Structure 1
Amino acid sequence: MSEPAPASQPRATSSGPGRVLIAVYAIFALSATARAAVQIATKFSEAPLAYLLSAVAGVVYILATIGLAGHGPGRRRLAWAAVGFELIGVLVIGTVTVLDAADFPDDTVWSVYGRGYGFVPLVLPLFGLWWLRRTRAR
């Protein structure tokens, strides 16, 4: 009798193009977090909602970076959750800022679908989710 074939292990998300993805997430984690920190520290009263949303985006990018760079099912779940939340955030905040710009006197990372960042915040989670799916166990 032959043994059933073992289920394949997921491919590391930090391999191949995943390295570039992690680097981009790390850059966004640093830039969004630093921008939000400066805005909150220096002019929070001008646009508190926008600055807090930028801080949330920074935390999401940090979590996505940790999840994508790590190994194991826990890190993979973290990456799925962070990147999925990021996509929802970009779509919701992007739509709200297009429909009612008056509530956002200053841009967030996700305003108008990431227009201030060359729309990378809109494309990044799509690529991230694709990569997580591509590297999953078969």
Structure 2
Amino acid sequence: MAEPTASGAGAGTPTDAASGTSRGAAGLGSGPGRLLVLLYGVFTVGAASRSLVQMIMKFDRAPLAYVLSAVAALVYAFILFSLLRGGERARRLAMGCCVAELVGVLTVGTWTLVEPSAFPDATVWSDYGMGYLFLPLALPVSGLIWLKRARPAPGA
């Protein structure tokens, strides 16, 4: 069993002796994963700061919308942490969060179209993320594709 490396790979993750880095899922934040790290970082800060300000300044106006934005920020932060952490366990947890994020975007997006009065103020996921150029819908799909491709080879 391999020891953890400086790259954050956990025990049991094969390492490349020459470079000291982990192969397979440990490189979640490398290559195309770097763009996901950047976008999840931006969305974590954006959703968290927006929801915090809204909850402090006008919580009584649209509590459901503001709480949902805070939940989105937590999901984004967890996926960001998982991408940076690397390793098979982080990859699996990030995949679960991407699925939850996608379900959230589809549920809230549909809800805001069917019953707009339930959301007097928009959330990050309102109208499938239209206010954010549909990136909240594209991010979990892209994340799932990347995380599936980052799976280590069988027997590695």
Is 1:51 the counterpart of 2:66? The answer is yes
Q: What is the DSSP-based 3-state SS (H/G/I as helix, E as strand, rest coil) of the residue aligned with 1:108?
A: coil
**1:106 — aligned with what?**
121
Taking only aligned residues, the RMSD between alpha carbons, in angstroms, comes to 1.2
Larger RCO (CA under 8 A, 6+ residues apart): 1
Tell me the CA shift for residue 78 of structure 1: 2.1
Q: How far apart are the structure 1 equivalents of 2:86 and 2:79? A: 13
Tell me the CA shift for residue 83 of structure 1: 1.1
Quick one: which of 103, 110, 113 aligns to 1:88? 103
Q: How far apart are the structure 1 equivalents of 2:79 and 2:29? A: 12
Is 1:10 the counterpart of 2:51? The answer is no
Q: How far apart are the structure 2 equivalents of 1:83 and 1:17? A: 16
Q: What is the DSSP-based 3-state SS (H/G/I as helix, E as strand, rest coil) of the residue aligned with 1:45?
A: coil
Q: How far apart are the structure 2 equivalents of 1:73 and 1:16? A: 17
Cα deviations by residue, 1:28-67 (Å, 9 ceiling, x for unpaired)? 0000000000000000000000000000000000001001
**2:91 — aligned with what?**
76
Q: What is the DSSP-based 3-state SS (H/G/I as helix, E as strand, rest coil) of the residue aligned with 1:46?
A: coil
The TM-score with structure 1 as length reference comes to 0.91
Q: How far apart are the structure 2 equivalents of 1:79 and 1:105? A: 31
Identity %: 47
Q: How far apart are the structure 2 equivalents of 1:107 and 1:87? A: 17
Where do 5+ consecutive residues of structure 2 fail to align? 1-13, 15-22
Q: Any conservation in 2 of the 1:113–1:121 contact (CA below 8 Å)?
A: yes
Q: Which amino acid aligns with 1:97?
A: T
**1:115 — aligned with what?**
130
Where do 5+ consecutive residues of structure 1 fail to align? 1-7
- Aligned pair count reads 131
Q: What is the DSSP-based 3-state SS (H/G/I as helix, E as strand, rest coil) of the residue aligned with 2:151?
A: coil
Q: How far apart are the structure 2 equivalents of 1:136 and 1:31? A: 29
